[in-house]
Chain A
């Protein structure tokens, strides 16, 4: 415990915060600490969590993918549309996934080869994906899941050992991405590129391929998140690209302690961030708090987490960056 307190960092602070809120809600909110509600809580944050896990890959590589939600919405809507129009389900899904991968490749190419800052590259590509996809690939904003998809709906609505499938998808994606980041060359190179691009390059890391890979991975995860979401609510509303969802995804990533400056954090941080936000949203919903108020409080939480981090970790180490040690 001593060393736990000694090594307080943002991840741990957020985790403690999560525990505190959780306990507080359990005490003051009737109906919070109840198996049904907890399952609901987890289910509610699964898609957000999957997106967060996907996004953290590019954030660790000192990038960002603002097109992620658009990619998720349009690639899945396209696949569903193709299926409605009579294509074999699995072929349609493969094509949708292919579309997502293409967006990832395009993002990666813009950033790694054309050297456009990730913020602008993905802002533009997100708008393109939505605009072009909506015009050319699907007939209406809302694409319904038809009974033709059969058992695939279980991915959104089924349960396994009484755990909702979206939660399981979240867990599986988190484990896969976590392992990739920790134990593969690609993962280590991602950290290297995020920590110091120039050093990675001079050391012989194929930096451009690594960046390409990061964005493809993020887009792929976005597709998985989209399928899970669509199966859960039986439709894909492409308007979701226009919502604040992408900022919520960034929030869970940053909140957990994956620094926007790159090279720091991992999947665990995203999970912690997601849990905090999930608990909080659930409690607010029980309390019947307005959406705008919820947003304001969310922003406050982010601010508190960052300030707490600065206070608990005196900046000695950081000041070391000001010069030769």
Chain B
């Protein structure tokens, strides 16, 4: 066996005296994909951030080529050849894709045309359909991710850490991404891959490590693992319930009252003349590729964006025509929207869990009360933390200090506490671990059983198929096809979404 590229020894990170990672020792080799798996809050991000210099270890050593290293910042790590692809956030939104790719390289920066040509070449070589001249702020999350990856590749990194890279990608983009991983491997790049999609991890990894509660459980070559074993290692027991089962096929809920009807809705370049309805007491799944306008259509419904002023179409809520300019009246009317982009419009970083949830509750309350109800606030927080099993270091933890999956649960709780009539989940299980996905799906099904109109927008077909009673497929800004749960299958939906 060759000498490992990077080694961590007895690495520990404590927050306020409580370990997030405890005495973890691992080795990473060049040209291999090493997956790190574990539940939400197991410490995956913390571990990899220490390697990438974004977090400083409390104890322990990191050795690169056998030499101990102590990076003071991610930039520092990058200079030593270790890049980390975070989700979405380290790009400068006001610059173009090309400028972001070459940020810090003033030499090329001076010749703008050269900059765009090199960017174009780089993106093409990676097979990424991104316009180098586009502003990053106009890109969707998948495309931002591609820019991040392209940047790491350009820096000739020897090790690239991907923290949940596939969560925002459509199946086709995922395929591109895995091809890319293969090419990186051939170039001898060591890859750390974090994902909650266990099949993906099994398919792409050479080595798999499982963490639980900050401790190392097992490391082995990937072929010695299967799904059940990983889950057993992750949670410490068997999880009986089968995820993404197709029970919906047998017991689709019947149509309830027509709560929402949308006719000829148009919004900018994203939504063209689309029409659809949503019924109470069932789950309407919405599938579509990037650019299909699925998110935007529902953002119009919930007042987050405005439809076109002229020929914008008609939206009826319980037979009453509505036109919201902001989400506030929509929320009061019982429409809640759970965003797909939690960093940008889902969380309050400085607030505690209870305070965050309480903002949602107060925004929806029809009471003319002017005051905060502390008791109610704590009750709500306790209730939802339990229902969604939110995990944090302590109850006063700020949302920023939660792991990604747990932040997602807070975003969901903040909407559920509003007691909506219609609730729109946009990628509800993004970044959430297997156990929690099952729990969140349970909650979603419960809502439908209670008579709510539930909309689930997802780019993950198995999720759509397992949870929906009715499936809408969007393409190029409009809903083009509708399936009942009985007739739908992956092939039909994919065909409708693409052609």
Contacts and interface: CB of A to CB of B under 8 A. Distances in A.
Interface in B182-220: none
Contact of B89 (A192, A199, A263, A322): A322
Contacts of B401: 317, 320, 325
Interface in B320-352: 326-328, 330-332, 336-337, 339, 343-351
Contacts of B54: 319-320, 322-323
A199 B339 CA distance: 9
A317 B339 CA distance: 24
Nearest to A205: B363
B219 to A, nearest CB: 23
Given A324-B86, A325-B402, A325-B403, A196 B347 contact: yes
Contact of B164 (A188, A198, A321, A324): A324
Contact of A195 (B55, B350, B369, B404): B350
Chain B interface residue count: which class? 35 or more
A185 B347 CA distance: 18
B309 interface: no
B86 A323 contact: yes
A187 B404 CA distance: 28
Given A195-B349, A314-B56, A324-B87, A188 B400 contact: no
B50 to A, nearest CB: 10
Nearest to B304: A202
A186 B326 contact: no
A234 to B, nearest CB: 38
Interface in A281-325: 314, 316-317, 319-325
A146 interface: no
Interface string B54-91: 11100000000000000001100000000010111110
Interface in A153-204: 182-189, 191-192, 195-196, 198-204
A207 interface: yes
21 contacts: A185-B372, A186-B370, A189-B362, A189-B363, A192-B351, A195-B348, A195-B351, A196-B347, A198-B345, A201-B326, A204-B360, A204-B364, A206-B326, A263-B351, A319-B49, A320-B55, A321-B400, A322-B74, A323-B49, A323-B90, A324-B89
Interface of B: 45, 49, 54-56, 73-74, 84, 86-90, 163-164, 304, 326-328, 330-332, 336-337, 339, 343-351, 355, 358-360, 362-364, 369-372, 400-404, 407, 414-415, 418, 431
Name the 4 nearest CB pairs between A and B, nearest first: A323-B86, A204-B331, A324-B87, A204-B363
Given A184-B370, A314-B56, 6 more contacts: A183-B372, A201-B327, A203-B359, A203-B414, A263-B351, A322-B86
